[in-house]
Amino acid sequence: MVAMSEGLLVSRAFGERRGYRVNPDRDLLAFGAANIASGLTGGFTIGSSTSRTAAMDHAGSRSQLPSLVTAAGTLALVVFGTTLLEHIPSPVIGAIVAVAVLPLLDVGEFVALWWLSRFEFAIAVACFLAALLIGPVAGIVIAVVLALVNLARRAANPAIDVLSTTDSPEHSLLPVEGGVTQTAPGLIVLRFAAPLFFANAGVFEEAVKTAVAEAGPDPLEHIVLDLEAVTDIDITAAERFHAVQDWLSEHGIRLHYSRVRPDLELRLEHFGLIEDRTLYGTNQAAIDALAP
């Protein structure tokens, strides 16, 4: 895991620096094939080397030829010239590696992260310190966990808008402004801009109830959920969705859907969330059909 993670990171870093395209799937396939061959012949684990890659890049390498020359030279040195390296102090070798790797730290990226996103800067620092003080495996695990936490944090607070109609049916509906609480008399079009899953299921339920509570004095008869941005729904969210449907039914409000993706429609059917609900191709079509 460490070798492959390091290889993918090195490949991406130098690809961005030198402007060439990288293919992670191809790299993983190469690592896998090389390690299978190494295992069958009793060799060592195959992976990339950050320090050697940096040293080759610093020396001006831009193709595979210098790697082949280096391999041939290393083989010749091991066979015929080990005595030449016998008296070289270890700090000298460490200094060579340090000089080659130092540019990879790229302090400028940390500074940019600090100004662009303090949360992601904290993640980067935590991963760097974990890899430095605990070890590369711990650093990778912490990086993955923090990245997932960051993803869940963002998805748990999606944009939720009550949409307003416009004078032209050709225009898309926009979020309401100026205290408007209904899209049309007796109708609310509510847009939820994220996949529905356990982290934001409660937010979704609360958003629907808040929209109903703030609908104003006019009686509310219909809620249309704009689901274009909802690409998936998990079991926890499906349970909360059922609870929302039951709550709306108790308050005499009918629920409808608009702009549902075909794959999401299959998921809604699987969880029993469509039943007698009406699906509309556009929000405007829903308004034309439901508004008085």
Amino acid at 258: S
Whole-number average pLDDT of the chain: 81
Q: Residue 103 has what pLDDT? A: 66
Contacts of 26 (CB under 8 A, 6+ apart): none
Amino acid at 187: L
Q: Would the pLDDT of 80 be above 50?
A: yes
Q: Residue 244 has what pLDDT? A: 92
Amino acid at 17: R
The confidence band for 268, taking pLDDT boundaries of 50, 70 and 90, is very high
Domain ranges in the chain? 106-155, 160-290
Q: Residue 100 has what pLDDT? A: 65
* CATH dotted code for 160-290: 3.30.750.24
The confidence band for 168, taking pLDDT boundaries of 50, 70 and 90, is very low
Amino acid at 49: S
Q: Residue 239 has what pLDDT? A: 93
Phi, psi for 90 (deg, rounded to 5): -60, -40
Q: Would the pLDDT of 229 be above 50?
A: yes
Contact 212, 183 (CB under 8 A): no
What 143-149 contacts at long range (C-beta under 8 Å, 24+ apart), as own/partner pairs, is 147/123
Residue that the structure tokens 């556009």 belong to: 282
Residue that the structure tokens 């400028």 belong to: 108
Q: What is the pTM of this model?
A: 0.63
**pLDDT tens for residues 13-52?**
777 777 778 888 888 888 888 888 888 888 887 777 776 7
Q: Would the pLDDT of 66 be above 70?
A: yes
% residues pLDDT > 70 (the chain): 91
Count of C-beta atoms within a 10 Å radius of residue 154: 13
Longest dimension (CA), the chain: 94
